[in-house]
A and B are shown apart, each in its own frame.
Chain A
Amino acid sequence: MSLKNYVITRVILAVPMVLILLALIFLILRIVPGDPVIAILGGKAPKEVIEQKRHELGLDKPIVVQFFDYIGGLLKGDLGKSTLTGRPIWDEIKERFPATLELTLFSFVIAVLVGIFWGSFAAYKRDSGVDIGARMFSMVMYAVPVFWFGLMMQYIFGVVLRLLPVGGRISPTVDLKVITGIYSIDALLTGNWDALKDVFEHLFLPGLTLGLVISSIFVRMVRNNTILTLGQDFVKAARARGLKEKVVLFRYALKNALVPIFTMMGLQFALLLGGAVLTETTFSWPGLGSYLVMKIRYRDFPAIQGTVVFFALIVVMISILVDVINALIDPRVRY
């Protein structure tokens, strides 16, 4: 199969996957008790008002009709309107997504750096203190609940040491012209160095929290893969040629060990986007994760569906991208 055909096949296969997911979400939301109109108006508004609002939102139609209405809208790029705020879901997602993306990228960079360097070094110094430390770290960090770790970070760096802010994306009194919604980039674009410093101070704790938790998986994977690779013939051959250990480790062993890890990291990045929910709530980070939690509370059907579809598309896109890159690196994948 040519690369082009491979990509097309993957994209076509993704469509039913997203549709099935959407149908499931759609069904689950409507099967569980709880009505979005009632959740907003409580028991205060007269019954007629509730009925009328339900009619306006199309919630009195049969589920099947609602589903096809929704799919019809989706095909036109319309995610519907929030039952809670009445605003287009797409606008709300656009407002919230940059925050999640910024946090995810920052955490990901931390996770990858910690993972690759500590993991490969632990493999190289097998059974030394560094290695035992790495194994302990990945075990503990994998088990620690992210919100508890976040609270500890807030307490130590925010309350006790007074070094960093405990929540939010930017200080209340710092002005910043929002262009992309990714504040660090906006601060760079506008040359606002005070804002840039402030944004990074706010980004540091949630980013480090999420980054360290995710890095626990990377450390272990890089370590194990590197150990496997270090035992292979081509590494022995490189050593026999008298190459420096550093070169052997980074140029030969790690490069080969990273191929499967790369796939894993790509998928982790996609999961990170959704996994930021707890971190966002802990650090009052106004991203899509905390948005989803809020919308679930109010049974805001279109918002929940829209956010899930959005996440699904991103996960699918990233996994296709990872596969394509893998296929480029290793042609065997395509068959």
Chain B
Amino acid sequence: MRKLVWLFLVLAVTLSFAAKDIIVVGTTDKIRTLDPANCYDYFSSNILQNVMVGLVDYEIGTSNLKPMLAERWDVDETGTVYTFYLRKDAQFEDGTPIDAHVFKYSFDRVMKLNGDPAFLLSDIIEKTEVVDDYTFRVTLKYPFSAFVSVLGYTVAYPVNPKVYPADSFYEGVPSASGPYRVKEWIRDVRIVLEANPNYFGEKPKTKTIVINFYESASTLRLALETGEIDVAYRHLDPRDIIDLEGREDIVVYKGNSPQIRYLVINVTQPPFDNVKVRQALAYAVDRSVIVEDVFAELAKPLYSMIPEGIWGHKNVLPERDLEKARALLKEAGYDKNNPLTIDLWYTPTHYGTTEADVAQVLKESLEETGVIKVNLKYAEWSTYVEYFLNGTMGLFLLGWYPDYLDPDDYVWPFLSESGAKSLGSFYSNSEVENLMIEARKLTDQEKRAEIYYKVQEILARDVPYIPLWQGVATCAAKKQVKGILLEPTQIFRYYILYWEE
């Protein structure tokens, strides 16, 4: 019997040591593709950000860019020719060096295959050139100061020409250039990452990361509670987060998220074509109820399209003021006897289970004026998008995830004529358009910020959108798992996670 107890103890100790080298993460997200040329969803990018690297990266925990595969770069005086000087010690997991030829191959491949994220490069790049083995040059169609930020996204990651075919998308396991390589990938079941021995940078703190895929938030939560996983990342329900916060063995992490949520107003559709109506709505919405009641403080009120944490941000929309809202509606010809009747649209599943509650709360806050009557309407996501592209909906909820971390990506898609059309507001204002083009040409961040302040002030005046809240990124993990960092860039780095001794 005693021998058995000893044996058990030895086994337990061995197992606990063995377990130190592996962390299991659970998620309800899915991987669509691990080809940078076609990857345009969060979780696919998230995996690529841990197994591949690009010309630039963000300093851990910040939104400041730093050189990565490019040791340095320069821009000519026209602002259109970027020359990148590459480091010489980078290679893929099979030993293929990552040089200028690889970059040219990768960039050209993205633009030729024209996958989902290709427009991020093809809209701005005129041509790519190999200057010498370790010097890579890109010429832009027009000056675009946010170009280096675009290079931080996975679409600009170099791929191994021996693995990724030139004329078709690749569906297999990527050839790693980053801290991890993919050891096993069973679609929608799990993906196993292990330290990449050929990575030029620092070794990961934990040798193996297993990511397990779940179909629902409730199962993900149960998996964390029962110890099947060590970290639950995307997407626990707000209710689950609150419950988990009460547990001693689990830590809930919260971080800034660059995701923003807002109301879109179709400025061409009556009664929303009247700017006074739009301004009145901006005064009437109650952000605090959404943040407190629906999201249990897992969101922050937002008063501009450029969220907090991004440089150039300025609070421009007004605090709630029902008197002002009523006065504006009166000027527009509405009062208690002749109320403003509007439809408010939302989509029930695309933004999670809380969306219907948000719509209900918004309806109540607008109706509190006593002058507005709101009918709630909803449609499934693909129908919803079709409706707003066609201009069917006058007032509807929408969200935005940036493609690159630059204020440009929070104003250009919304306020430029082409962008506003594709987001259903149909706003068009040449003054704003020119200001934004001007800001794209400048490289001086302070000067650009000044311009963006002006742009945001015009947004508050014309109200084609009403920013409502910005997300709070959350993650729940066992107490002993350390190194969890919810970064403003949304990059979740598995290679800095470790077990506390």
Residues of A within 8 A of B (CB): 32-36, 38-47, 49, 52-53, 84-87, 92, 95-96, 151, 154-155, 158-159, 162, 165-173, 178, 280-286, 290-291, 294, 297-299
Q: CA of A154 to CA of B226 in the docked complex: distance in angstroms?
A: 10
Are A168 and B225 interface neighbours, CB within 8 A?
no
**In the complex the two chains form, is B382's CB within 8 Å of A95's CB?**
no
Return the contact of B32 from the options A36, A84, A171 (Cβ within 8 A): A84
Complex Cα–Cα for A49 and B114 (A):
8
- Which of the residues A43, A86, A173 comes within 8 Å of B423, measured between beta carbons? A43
Q: Are A286 and B24 in contact, CB atoms less than 8 angstroms apart? A: no
Q: Mark B159-194, 1 if CB is under 8 A from A, else 0.
A: 000000000010100000000000000111110000
Inter-chain contact B119/A286, CB cutoff 8 Å: no
A170 and B189 contact, CB distance less than 8 A? yes
Asked whether, in the complex, the Cβ of A168 is within 8 Å of the Cβ of B385, the reply is: no
When distances are taken between beta carbons in the complex, the residues of chain A under 8 Å from B33 are: 85-86
Contact of B386 among A38, A46, A158, A159 (CB under 8 A): A38
**What would 20 more interface pairs be, CB under 8 Å, given A95-B187, A165-B223?**
A41-B40, A43-B388, A46-B418, A47-B418, A52-B114, A84-B32, A86-B33, A96-B188, A154-B219, A158-B222, A158-B226, A159-B222, A166-B223, A167-B219, A172-B229, A178-B186, A284-B213, A285-B215, A297-B349, A298-B382
A283 to B213, CA, bound (A): 11
Chain A CB within 8 A of B216 CB: yes
Contact B212 A172 (CB under 8 A): yes
B430 at the interface (CB under 8 A from A): no
Q: Complex: how many Å from CA A43 to CA B382?
A: 10
Given A86-B171, A167-B219, A284-B215, A173 and B210 contact (CB-CB distance below 8 Å):
yes
Specify which of A33, A92, A168, A286 is in contact with B379 (CB 8 Å cutoff).
A33
CB of B215 within 8 A of CB of A281, answer yes
Docked pose: A85 CA to B215 CA in angstroms: 18
Asked whether B16 is an interface residue with its Cβ less than 8 Å from the other chain, the reply is no
A133 to B130: give the CA distance in the assembly, Å: 79
Contact residues, B349-402 vs A (CB, 8 A): 349, 379-383, 385-389, 398
Contacts A47-B422, A171-B228, A178-B186 given: A290-B210 contact, CB under 8 Å?
A: no
Instruction: Let me know if B382 and A45 touch, CB within 8 A.
Output: no
Bound: A44/B389 CA distance, A? 11
Q: Which residues of B contact A167 (CB under 8 A)?
A: 214-215, 219, 222-223, 228
Question: Which residues of A are found within 8 Å of B223, using beta-carbon distances?
Answer: 165-168
**B169 touches which one: A36, A86, A95, A169 (CB < 8 A)?**
A86
B46 smallest CB distance to A (angstroms): 17
Is B215's CB under 8 angstroms from A45's CB? no
Across-interface contacts of B457 in A (CB, < 8 A): none
A159 to B226, CA, bound (A): 6
Query: Are the CB atoms of B214 and A168 closer together than 8 Å?
Result: yes
B421 at the interface (CB under 8 A from A): yes
Q: Chain B 22-65, CB within 8 Å of chain A: the 1/0 string?
A: 10100000101100001010000000000000000000000000
Residues of B within 8 A of A171 (CB): 228
Is B464's beta carbon under 8 Å from chain A? no
Q: Which 10 A-B pairs have the closest CB atoms?
A: A34-B382, A39-B382, A33-B383, A167-B219, A284-B215, A166-B222, A172-B210, A284-B214, A38-B385, A172-B24
Query: Which residues of chain B from 118 to 160 have any CB-CB distance to chain A below 8 Å in the complex?
Result: 118-119, 123
Closest residue to A96 on the B side, CB-wise? B188
CA distance A40 to B188 in the complex (A): 18
User: Is B189 in contact with A169, judged by CB distance below 8 angstroms?
Assistant: yes
CB <8 Å contact, B116 and A35: no
Please measure, in the bound complex, the distance between the C-alpha atom of A319 and the C-alpha atom of B470, giving whole angstroms.
54
Judging by beta carbons under 8 Å apart, are A46 and B382 in contact?
no
| Complex CA–CA separation, A286 to B214 (angstroms) | 9
* B216 pairs with A282, CB closer than 8 A: yes
Q: In the complex, which residues of chain B have a beta carbon less than 8 angstroms from the beta carbon of A165?
A: 223, 226, 228
Sample 9 A-B pairs with CB under 8 A, ordered by A number.
A33-B382, A33-B387, A45-B116, A86-B33, A165-B228, A170-B189, A171-B228, A172-B190, A297-B349
B188-218, CB < 8 A from A: 188-190, 210, 212-216, 218
- Give CA–CA (A280, B389) in the complex, Å: 35
In Å, the complex CA distance between A173 and B210 comes to 7
Whether, in the assembled complex, B471 has its beta carbon less than 8 Å from a beta carbon of chain A, the answer is no
Chain B residues, CB < 8 A from A86: 33, 38, 169, 171
Partner of B24, one of A46, A85, A173: A173
From B215, B349, B382, B418, A36 is in contact (CB under 8 Å) with B382
Given contacts A46-B123, A166-B228, contact A39 B385 (CB under 8 A): yes
Q: How far is the CA of A291 from the CA of B380 in the complex (A)?
A: 18
Contact A34 B386, beta carbon cutoff 8 Å? yes
Judged by a CB distance under 8 angstroms, whether B488 is at the interface is no
Which of these, B116, B228, B385, B418, contacts A172 with CB under 8 Å?
B228
A285 to B228, CA, bound (A): 15
Taken together as a complex, chains A and B put the C-alpha atoms of A64 and B464 apart, in Å, by: 40
Which residues of chain B have C-beta atoms less than 8 A from A286's C-beta?
Answer: 187-189, 213, 215
Instruction: With both chains docked as a complex, state the minimum distance between the C-beta of B475 and any C-beta of chain A, in angstroms.
Output: 17
Q: How far is the CB of A4 from chain B (nearest CB, A)?
A: 42
A34-B386, A46-B123 known; A85+B32 contact, CB < 8 A: yes
**Structural contact, A43 and B215, CB atoms closer than 8 A:** no
Max chain B Cβ within 10 angstroms of own Cβ: one of A45, A53, A84, A151: A45
Q: Could you say which residues of chain B place their CB within 8 Å of the CB of A40?
A: 40, 116
A34 in contact with B380 given A41-B116, A49-B119, A86-B33 (CB within 8 Å):
yes
Closest B residue to A283 by beta carbon equals B219
Knowing A171-B228, A281-B215, the reply to whether A38 touches B389 (Cβ < 8 A) is yes
Q: For the complex, what is the distance from the CA of A49 to the CA of B38, rounded to whole Å?
A: 13
B226 touches A162 (CB 8 A): yes
Q: B403 on the interface (CB 8 Å rule)?
A: yes
Q: Which of B33, B382, B398 has the most CB of A within 10 A?
A: B382
Instruction: Determine the chain B residues whose CB is within 8 A of the CB of A294 once the complex forms.
Output: 30
Indicate whether A297 sits within 8 Å of B381 (C-beta atoms), given known contacts A33-B386, A171-B228. Answer: yes
Min CB–CB distance A99 → chain B (angstroms): 8
CB contact under 8 A between A34 and B24, given known A41-B116, A167-B215: no
Does B79 have its Cβ within 8 Å of any Cβ on chain A? Answer: no
Q: Give the residues in chain A near B190, CB-CB below 8 Å.
A: 170, 172
Chain B min CB distance to A37 (Å)? 9
Whether A159 touches B187, Cβ cut-off 8 Å, given contacts A167-B214, A294-B30, is no
Tell me, rounded to whole Å, the shortest Cβ–Cβ distance linking A335 to chain B.
48
